[in-house]
Structure 1
């Protein structure tokens, strides 16, 4: 049992647990919805359970490819054995039903309908007959749902869709992260016949796509948060370098640097405003302008 638990955690890639939860909280905040018991349960379902659905399906249908992948293991997931497939499938089904059932308790038809879309996207991405993972560009495009999905999942609790198109520009950032990952897996995917973005159009194409996304998002983010703008600028510079030297090793370096940047500032804000806030937080800094105190107050509820 303990061995299965360790493998389940490895499959779910813990480094990716935090993203959907934070995006979900942002959706609640923008919709003006207080975080009650239902919202808290949904938020938690978007950590380990949702990640297990996404990456569990990926590992099942890429099982043969992963056997020869040097990246597999640790934060990049577990190598599944034949005996693991049944229990992984059962757990995926259980978590999928849990997300849908919990959304039904909201008695909000739009939210309930969106829960099916949330669960369907990982299946469309990894599983046949659609398997968008093996369709160049569309593999990265669909991965943008990692950003849009949890946000809209929360926002639809209000009974409406989010009315601002900027959300989809930001979600392109999640597509960009996936595009870098296709360069990291370029050799394994090419040898296995998986026609990803990097395989279909060459490893330089995803890097150029990331650069384009960074330019657009840099324009949108400027004046809102200098830290976010700086991170996007860093990603743009790294993606330009990657376009000239599009090797799996360089892509992995870029990916690690960007992940480290994000986690550094998440730790900084957590330490400064939550741990040391009563003594050291200066809310006049306006890093997130006047919205920061409201966000912090909301998260503390």
Structure 2
């Protein structure tokens, strides 16, 4: 069971939630004393295994139609077997319940809103009738769910809303990341009859759209934190433009992105520490 839940949770992607929460909390913290708060540690732990079981477990439970055509399932990622579905569904329900409990216990309505937004968007991405992943445009926009832990962390630490430019930049970055990750799945999604932003645009146009969104995120970073951080982020649109010339290489590049995101995330963390 433990191995199954770890596989479902995609450990290489844990930083996308836990790291984002840490960066947001650090950016909002007025002093190191803020990190002594039990709520910080509780939420940081939640955004490791439990939140990822919820997010990717829901995805695996409702994506059987596309997963059967997806070459990475059974090789790079676990393919959920029928006998495993009940155990995974129970784990997803438990993780969702824990998230709802954290939202209910939040001391402010903005913190409640960001946690609930994460849960609703995470479920709505895969679960009918919403199933944002099958609605071109909404599939990209709904990926802002990955920014919710960061916004939550900032609100908890600062007691104020994150800067609007930071939220806009995060929405652009997460949208680009989703669209980029959907490009290697174009063939599988088309085979399953699934319409996504990537299947509508095609690989090359989707990659150029990624570049535009990442450039918008860089502009937001410039507005919030200045040129150095924006220049660090410029690696993303540059990579997207380069891959647009060779779309067949996107599948290989996709698996290198967790390491790139970890490195850039560390730079963001250092920037947040410096204030």
Is TM more than 0.5 here?
Answer: yes
Which has the higher relative contact order, 1 or 2, with Cα contacts under 8 A spaced 6 or more apart?
2
Cα pair distance change 1:253/1:234, threshold 3 Å = farther
Q: CA deviation at 1:228?
A: 6.0
Cα pair distance change 1:267/1:143, threshold 3 Å = closer
* Cα pair 1:12 1:77 within 8 Å, conserved: no
Q: CA deviation at 1:115?
A: 2.4
Greater radius of gyration (CA): 1
Pick the aligned partner of 1:229 from 228, 231, 255. 231
Which position in structure 2 is the counterpart of 1:60? 61
* Number of residue-to-residue matches in the alignment: 268
SS state at 1:144 partner: helix
Q: Which residues of structure 1 form unaligned runs of 5+?
A: 271-286, 295-301
Which position in structure 2 is the counterpart of 1:10? 7
Per-residue CA deviations over 1:60-110 (Å, capped at 9, x if unaligned) read 111232233211146x53111111111111111111111221233333333
Q: CA deviation at 1:220?
A: 4.0
What is the TM-score with the length of structure 2 in the denominator?
Answer: 0.86
SS state at 1:185 partner: helix
Single out whichever of 94-103 and 23-32 deviates more from structure 2.
Answer: 23-32
Aligned-CA RMSD value: 2.7
Which position in structure 2 is the counterpart of 1:298? none
Counterparts of 1:1-301 in structure 2 under 5 Å? 4-32=1-29, 34-35=34-35, 36-73=37-74, 76-147=76-147, 149-157=148-156, 160-221=160-221, 224=226, 226=228, 229-230=231-232, 232-247=233-248, 250-264=249-263, 288=271, 292-293=273-274
Per-residue CA deviations over 1:254-274 (Å, capped at 9, x if unaligned) read 32343333345668999xxxx
Q: Which residues of structure 2 form unaligned runs of 5+?
A: none
Single out whichever of 191-200 and 257-266 deviates more from structure 2.
Answer: 257-266
